[in-house]
Structure 1
Amino acid sequence: MSWRFVSLPPQDGYHMITSFVAVAEYINNGGKNTFLVFYAKEPFVNVGVHQEVWLEVDLEFARKMGIPVVRRDLGGGTVVITPGEHDYFIVIRQEDAPKNPNELYQKFLTPVVNVLRSYGLNASLRDQDIVVNGKKISGNGAMTHGNAVVIAGNILLSLDVDLISKCIKVPTEKFRDKMAKDMSEWLTSLEKELGYIPPREEINKKLKEAFEKDLGIKFEESTLTPEEIELWEKLAKEKANEEWIFYKDNRHPDIHTERCVKISSAVALCHVDYKARKLLRITLKVVNRKIDEISISGDFFVMSPKGFIEYLEDKLRGVPVRIDEIKEVIVNVFNEKKPIIFGFDENDLANAIAEILNKPEIQEVI
């Protein structure tokens, strides 16, 4: 089977996070499976589609340093993208992709694992990440776009822990110091492991060889079509719009809180971070013993359908704050929409909401 291999020059954040959509449209129109590779021209903060910027990013520092905040169409956590990464997008027809996320990652990330092993590194796949001796060297995520499946990932060439830790929102400076120390312990890079950074051309050559061997495909060196470039420019411009960047924040402007507070005898507002397979951040406003508003955010991945989280939030509004009724709505929505989610299931969500309902501030108003 013939694939395109497209190597692009360095890009800004808005172009990086929209490139694969233009390629997915090309594939939806009958184009070839494509491996796209490039890297960031400058640092930017990249938040997941299901995250609230105010909860994740130190906006004061980012603005002071002129570091853009960019919201991608993929799930996952907030990452700070720097020129020290080698980024790739694997965009394929749906019929060529396993439906199970674990099998999908296994199939298409094994060649990347093998590239790292070719440098003598003890690399292995852990969920959707690639680790070397237990330390993450490659983060990956997946989504569907029409009839195309996209896997986005990177190989860390070098690591600027100081910059990354300063871009992320933390409760205290002491916590930031601990986070920087922790990141040094659970993240690694080729520079750290090898003592040098291999040339990008060499990494590309190894990626091509590994994918051809492991998947039984043949690459042709290619470029994007004029139609892809035209759509890409349009999408990048849209993603630079603040309405998109802060859409999740602006969807819930009245429930920005990281704690629990009783507002009146009938109103309470509460936030909880719940660790399922991925982090779930739930903020809930109760008015007159009903869910007045709920925000479901976090670093999970919803591969399909598009807009599932917003649909679920809307369905939960107005539901009495009894866990059996809430769980019934959640189960019904999951049965109706049949979402493909990596990071949590309906039981995790019900348990996270149950944890909020047990908070004293909520108990006092119900």
Structure 2
Amino acid sequence: MYLVDSRSSNPAINVSVESFLLSNEVVDDTIVFFYQMEPSIGIGRFQNAYEEVNYPYVKEQGIPVIRRASGGGAMFSDPGQIAFCFITKDEGDTFGNFKEFTRPILDALHKMGATDAQLSGRNDLTIDGKKFSGNAMSVKDGRMFAHGTLMIDLDTDQLTKALNPSKEKLRSKGVKSVRSRVTNLRPYFSEQYQNATVEEIKNTILLYVFGVDSLDEIKRYELTEEDWGKINAFKAAVPDNPEWNYGKNPSFDLERQRKFDAGLVQVKFNVAHDKISAIRIFGDFFGKGSIEDVEQVLIDVPYNEEAIQNALESLDIPYYFGKIKIEELAQLIAF
């Protein structure tokens, strides 16, 4: 494995570095990318930013909202949190295997005293039934990354104010609020880490992940000036683009949503002359394909379950949504 160091706590830069490493095989080995971020919100590739984020609050506070290339849900970050990313080849059966990529992180946390930390549900790391890490994945041209976060000293008050998760999602977790569902890790660490800085905790986790005694023993890949040219070009075109981060939010007459095992799916659409005339699909599911493909095949389809299911038969639905059946999606839309 090789470590890539981040030069910045700017979320747009770090998202761009991840995308660069996904698209460019700079070494023939797994890359580990750790970083911290200034206050910001990361939203999943398929989410509706206007519904996931408390927009008046984040605008007032100057908190940037950055859309990821990966699926999953919205997350608040600040310097009290550590972000980690593993970039590797896609072996064909690794996408969605959160157990494989969170194992080294959990092993490190166990050695640091947080012995009850575990992978829970689809993609969360929890301790005492509370979440301290959300994880997501993205795949492109035979390569993939798996990334996540670790709450060490995160400002949970600001997290609660900045995010606006759906009531459906909270109900599925059996909680009434974001605050009651999350926790920081520091109280669970052994005594020797109680006064460690977040940077020191990050470095300790790196030592355990790489299985070395000194940071000097870790193999590193130094991003070149040419690499940074590509990273900055991507940053200007994508995460710095408000249209990418927020997207368009047209009005729709009809809305359906359901929490599947694969994630929340929300469908907004219009029907004219008994046919679907416009449709947008949002959610925190993990899909590999562009959701616009699904939206496109549903335009002008008669608004009934059979016709919708027949239209969806032309697509590999798990490729776009994960483990959701065609008939389940058709039933949701035609409810």
* TM-score interval, smaller chain: 0.7 to 0.9
**1:150 corresponding residue in structure 2:** 145
Shift of 1:37: 0.7
Q: Distance in 2 between matches of 1:165 and 1:235?
A: 31
CA contact (8 A) 1:156 1:190 kept: yes
Instruction: Note if 1:133 corresponds to 2:128.
Output: yes
**1:34 corresponding residue in structure 2:** 31
CA, structure 1 residues 17+180, in 2 after alignment: closer, same or farther (shift >3 Å)?
Answer: farther
Runs of 4+ in 1 over 4 A off after TM superposition: none
Counterpart residue type for residue 270 of structure 1: L
**1:360 corresponding residue in structure 2:** none
Counterpart residue type for residue 322 of structure 1: N
- Aligned residue for 2:315, secondary structure, equals helix
Q: Distance in 2 between matches of 1:136 and 1:346?
A: 31
Q: Quick check: which one's helix share is greater?
A: 1
Q: Distance in 1 between matches of 2:125 and 2:196?
A: 18
Q: Distance in 2 between matches of 1:46 and 1:197?
A: 28
CA, structure 1 residues 202+69, in 2 after alignment: closer, same or farther (shift >3 Å)?
Answer: closer
CA contact (8 A) 2:123 2:134 kept: yes
Shift of 1:79: 1.3
Shift of 1:193: 2.9
Instruction: Note if 1:4 corresponds to 2:7.
Output: no
Counterpart residue type for residue 136 of structure 2: G
Q: Distance in 2 between matches of 1:206 and 1:78?
A: 24
Alignment of 1:1-366 (within 5 A): 3-27=1-25, 31-40=28-37, 42-95=38-91, 99-102=93-96, 104-121=97-114, 122-126=116-120, 127-169=122-164, 182-194=177-189, 196=194, 198-199=196-197, 200-212=199-211, 219-238=218-237, 239-247=239-247, 250=248, 253-255=250-252, 269-277=253-261, 278-302=263-287, 304-305=288-289, 307=290, 309-334=291-316, 339=319, 341-342=321-322, 344-355=324-335
Number of equivalences: 318
Q: Structure 1: which 5+ residue stretches go unaligned? A: 256-268, 356-366
CA contact (8 A) 2:270 2:277 kept: yes
Shift of 1:317: 0.6
CA contact (8 A) 2:275 2:300 kept: yes
Counterpart residue type for residue 67 of structure 2: R
Q: Distance in 2 between matches of 1:241 and 1:6?
A: 25
Which TM-score applies when normalising by structure 1?
A: 0.79
Counterpart residue type for residue 22 of structure 1: F
Q: Distance in 2 between matches of 1:197 and 1:326?
A: 57
Indicate the larger mover: 151-160 or 326-335.
326-335
Q: Distance in 1 between matches of 2:47 and 2:219?
A: 37
Shift of 1:100: 4.5
Q: Structure 2: which 5+ residue stretches go unaligned? A: none
Which TM-score applies when normalising by structure 2?
A: 0.86
Shift of 1:159: 2.7
Q: Distance in 2 between matches of 1:92 and 1:146?
A: 11
CA, structure 1 residues 64+340, in 2 after alignment: closer, same or farther (shift >3 Å)?
Answer: closer
Shift of 1:208: 3.8
Q: Distance in 2 between matches of 1:101 and 1:144?
A: 7
> Which structure has the larger Rg?
1
Q: Distance in 1 between matches of 2:42 and 2:325?
A: 25
Q: Distance in 2 between matches of 1:314 and 1:25?
A: 27
State the Cα RMSD in Å.
Answer: 2.7
